[in-house]
Amino acid sequence: MTEQSAGRAPLLRGDDEVSLLALGTVLLRWRWTIIALGLVGIAAGLATGLLTTRVYVCSAKFLPQVTEASSSALTLAASQFGIRLPTSGGGWGPPVYVELLRSRAMLESIAIDTVVLAEEGGRRVALMDLLKVDAPTPELRADRAVRALGEIVKSRELRALSAVEVTVTTRWPSVSLALAERLVRGVNQFNVETRKSQAAAERQFVEAQAGEAERALREAEDRLQGFLQQNRVISSPELGFERDRLQRQVALRQQVYTSLVQNWQEARIREVRDTPVITVLENPRLPVVSEPRRLVLKGILCGLAGGILGALIALLAEGVSGVRRQPGGDVREFFQLVEQATPRFLKRRAR
């Protein structure tokens, strides 16, 4: 044991209690190594930020169609606190559109299409080529293109507005704008076509029910007509009661038939209606400024990581040096092997 090592304060004292004084001494002794690793971390963080490709984000916000039942004051107030109340309306809520924007049904048609690259003189290029998607078969390439597109398309719900926000991040401002516009159009087209198919199925069902209701109404009217023809003069309470019963049946059948005919007409109108079912709150705009690369933040974080790494190296080296000075043949033999594998600059520090 040398005099220098004998004068060092041990890191552990008592029952494995860490000595703060010894810890501070170790960090001061290794200060230049810690500072050097911290500077290396700062340089690495700045280099990473400078080498990061600039990206442009285009966003859009839209509000789903709100039905009368779902637009009550209580429902809107509850949505401010993230609470969803059940409604009897048929409108789709924001979570449905969030998942729709992430679905393959929405992304596949866009992924296999082309876009105009305004930054390169208006050249039209396939999106799969732009995203550098490659695969041995067309089916596998299309699948990978959908996944790559899903990485740059993000959607989320804005609870305060009960709206949906979609963002597209690419290296080209024109591509970000084009994809955002296609997503908004695709959402509205998908919604309109889906509601048209629902209205068509509803029309067919209501039309069949209306036909049955019309036949039932004609039968009730025929029974009432036959009764009145056979009993021109109602001379007894029994005949009056039978007449009133047949009239009630006719009135009830008439109400059912009228309601079904109204629903049938409404379903026919919805089937051919082509009006948008979403309200765009914020249209996509061409991004003119790229997203910040956060050079300062990356440099600070990497510098802290380098400093922490230097401190860990210092503590590990001092711990190895302290255990080496403990008696015991097995311990000494173990750390002799460790010493052979330890870098030279750590050997000089630990002695």
In this structure, is residue 288 part of a structural domain?
no
Q: What Cα–Cα distance (Å) separates residue 169 from each residue in 17, 55, 103, 105, 110?
A: 52, 6, 18, 20, 15
Count the helix, strand and coil residues of the chain and give each as a percent rounded to the nearest 5: 65, 10, 25
Q: What angle do CA 308, 35, 33 make, to 5 degrees?
A: 85
Q: Give just the sign of the alpha carbon dihedral 194, 195, 196, 200.
A: positive
Looking at 261, 282, 303, which one is the last position of a domain? Answer: 282
pLDDT in the model for residue 86 = 44
pLDDT in the model for residue 202 = 83
**Contact at 8 Å (CB) between 246 and 220?**
yes
Looking at 272, 307, 322, which one is the last position of a domain? Answer: 272
**Contact at 8 Å (CB) between 179 and 115?**
yes
207 and 191 share one domain = no
In this structure, is residue 19 part of a structural domain?
yes
In this structure, is residue 130 part of a structural domain?
yes
Instruction: Dump strand ranges (E) for the chain.
Output: 12-13, 17-18, 56-64, 114-117, 123-126, 153-158, 163-170, 278-282
69 and 187 share one domain = yes
In this structure, is residue 289 part of a structural domain?
no
163 and 210 share one domain = no
Structural tokens at position 99: 């998942």
pLDDT in the model for residue 93 = 81
Main-chain dihedrals φ then ψ at residue 329, nearest 5 degrees: -65, -40
Compute CA 172 distance to the chain's CA centroid, rounded to the nearest angstrom.
22
Q: What Cα–Cα distance (Å) separates residue 65 from each residue in 102, 137, 164, 266?
A: 20, 41, 12, 18
In this structure, is residue 287 part of a structural domain?
no
Q: Which residues contact 97 (CB under 8 A, 6 or more apart)?
A: 62, 64, 155, 164, 187, 278
pLDDT in the model for residue 317 = 72
In this structure, is residue 225 part of a structural domain?
yes
The DSSP line for 215-275 is HHHHHHHHHHHHHHHH-SS--SHHHHHHHHHHHHHHHHHHHHHHHHHHHHHHHHHHHH---
Q: What Cα–Cα distance (Å) separates residue 259 from each residue in 67, 210, 213, 216, 279?
A: 21, 9, 10, 14, 31
Amino acid of residue 124: R
94 and 132 share one domain = yes
86 and 179 share one domain = yes
Structural tokens at position 69: 């039942």
Q: Domain of 241?
A: 198-272
pLDDT in the model for residue 255 = 92
238 and 319 share one domain = no
Q: What angle do CA 305, 311, 317 make, to 5 degrees?
A: 135
155 and 224 share one domain = no
Structural tokens at position 219: 């039968």
What is the rounded CA–CA span in Å between residue 46 and residue 117?
30
pLDDT in tens, the chain (351 residues): 444 444 455 555 544 455 677 777 777 777 788 888 888 888 887 777 766 678 889 999 998 875 444 444 444 444 444 444 444 444 578 888 889 898 888 898 898 899 888 888 888 898 888 888 888 898 899 899 999 999 999 999 998 888 999 999 998 899 999 999 999 998 888 877 877 787 788 888 888 888 898 899 899 888 888 888 888 777 788 888 888 888 899 899 999 989 988 888 888 887 776 666 788 888 889 887 766 667 777 778 888 888 888 788 777 776 666 655 655 555 556 656 666 666 665 555 544
105 and 235 share one domain = no
What is the domain-level CATH number for residue 145?
Answer: 3.30.1890
In this structure, is residue 171 part of a structural domain?
yes
170 and 89 share one domain = yes
117 and 77 share one domain = yes
SS3 state at 170: strand
pTM for the structure as a whole: 0.58
Main-chain dihedrals φ then ψ at residue 161, nearest 5 degrees: -105, -5
The DSSP line for 99-136 is HHHHSHHHHHHHHTSEEEEGGGTSEEEEHHHHTT---S
Amino acid of residue 227: F
166 and 209 share one domain = no
Q: Total domain count for the chain? A: 3
In this structure, is residue 337 part of a structural domain?
yes
301 and 243 share one domain = no
Looking at 272, 302, 317, which one is the last position of a domain? Answer: 272
pLDDT in the model for residue 44 = 83
pLDDT in the model for residue 179 = 93
